Structure 1
Amino acid sequence: MTVRVALFATCYNDLMWPETPKAVVRLLRRLGCEVDFPIEQTCCGQMFTNTGYAEEAIPAVRTFTATFAGYDAVVAPSGSCVGSVRHQHRDIAQRAGDPRLQEQVEAVTPHVYELSEFLVDVLGVTDVGAYFPHRVTYHPTCHSLRMLRVGDRPLQLLEAVRGIEVVELPRADQCCGFGGTFSMKNADTSVAMGSDKARAARDTGAEVLVAGDNSCLAHIGGLLSRQRSGMRVMHLAEILASTEGGAA
């Protein structure tokens, strides 16, 4: 049976990292999914809730539930945004005092997945037919690790890629220091944490640092670039979408 999937690109990816959601579409279609991109989608509301503007997040939650109702699955290449949907939307709907919105949130939320969860738990695959002949190391982002508890699913997917060499990242579970507005309000601390993460990545000798959230990759990648490390950062989706003869 074909799975009808809605791509939740996330506003950050849509504006700054469009190749990542494109990679998700290529990957899911290759695996036999019917993929839609609902054009009405906007922000999940995380930027409001994380900074204390819960009331302002209500319209975003209304739009999200209306846009993604009725799909078999809603898949996003972001542990951060999926974490927000799962852990914040119910609270926002209750704050709105709207029973109908609460019902809609309860109907949609169980179908929202981070990419690696969807591939491993729903489609039941780890070998997605990818080819990426490079040495990589994986950074588990805080939201995916602590809120979603994706565990080793991303590593299962990476290790099944043909041609790849996956090396362990030292102190992998330590935060990179991005944290959304934390990186602006506490810039010195954020840079120090990011520098530790960049150093650990360089020490692996990997060509590519991989993660499931482009926000963290932007932070770490900026430091790696300024250090002239020569190390690339790539989203997990882009590696999984790579095939022999394709871009790498």
Structure 2
Amino acid sequence: MRISLFVTCLTDLYFPEVGESVVRILHRLGHEVDFPAAQTCCGQPALNSGYADEARAVAKRMIGLFEHAETVVTPSGSCCSVIREYYPHLFENDPVMHGKAVALADKTFELVELLQKRLKVDWSRWRLSYPGTATFHYSCHHRGIGMSPEDVLGLVREFKDLEYRPLEKMEQCCGFGGTFAVKYGDISGAMVRDKVACIKATGARTLICNDGGCTLNIVGACRREGVDIEAVHIAQMLDAAMRNGGGQAVDSTVAAAPRGDREWEAKQ
């Protein structure tokens, strides 16, 4: 399968290693990966702030970039929800663009959703290994695209040597919410402090957090509260676990982006 990566702006700017892990995972599974270098933001900040016209302009550009993609994957449930839930609504009065928005929404998947539900990967061949202790923060936006905590935890249980420690209030918002954290700083701060207290109580050394906004918010609060924990995306864990397990890889091709984007090629 040829899969196009929508990396998202937060991943690109703050967590590029997550995007690289996504490419390596798909490469090992035998898929061709395409990275449209002209991609930018999905328009969520403008949309959340009530700037529908500005969000519509960004959405139109994104739809054009991924219009001919076979399948689109993103490591962010938040940005996936914008494409799936909001792009069609932005073009309700434009039949042509509405059709294109629906088409993109139907072929866009969050990473775990793609691996577990669409590709139905058999992980037993990989002997996934990731020693340590971990807990999991469930991002609000994953609920918006129909994902449950079990979708991620089912994959986590495939990791040998990993001790999973349940997080109290796992499904409670971390308080980020994009501009919510700016407009309602006191409330946001109280929410993330509560989240950090729950994380600390697990004693886990690793926090699985699959949305960049949540990760930035929680990691910042952990540092302020003196909580020593490593936050990783499930893509990074899976990338490392596939490598550690030594499973048999399948030969495949990663489509080269323009020469300025060679860092996105998979490296075995």
Fold in common (TM above 0.5): yes
State the Cα deviation string for residues 53-97 of structure 1 (Å, max 9, x = none): 001011211111111122221000001000111111011112xx4
**Residues of 2 paired with 1:21 and 1:30: CA distance?**
14
Matching of residue 190 in structure 1 with residue 188 in structure 2: yes
State the Cα deviation string for residues 106-151 of structure 1 (Å, max 9, x = none): 221100001110000111026283421110001110010x201211
Identity %: 38
Q: For 1:134, what is the secondary structure of its paired residue? A: strand
> What TM-score, normalized to structure 2?
0.86
Q: For 2:244, what is the secondary structure of its paired residue? A: coil
Task: State the AA in 2 paired with 1:111.
Answer: K
Give the aligned partner of residue 102 of structure 1: 98
Task: Indicate which of 88, 95, 114 corresponds to 2:110.
Answer: 114
Query: Where does the alignment leave 5 or more consecutive residues of structure 2 unmatched?
Result: 247-268
Give the Å deviation of 1:228: 2.1
The 8 Å contact of residues 135 and 208 in structure 1, kept in 2 or not, is answered as yes
Aligned pairs for 1:1-248 (under 5 A) are 3-94=1-92, 97-125=93-121, 127=123, 129=126, 130-144=128-142, 146-151=143-148, 152-242=150-240, 243-244=243-244
- The number of aligned residues is 241
Which gives a bigger RCO, structure 1 or 2 (Cα 8 Å, sep 6+)? 2
Q: For 1:20, what is the secondary structure of its paired residue? A: helix
Query: Where does the alignment leave 5 or more consecutive residues of structure 1 unmatched?
Result: none
Alignment RMSD (CA, Å) = 1.5
Task: State the AA in 2 paired with 1:148.
Answer: I
**Residues of 1 paired with 2:168 and 2:146: CA distance?**
19
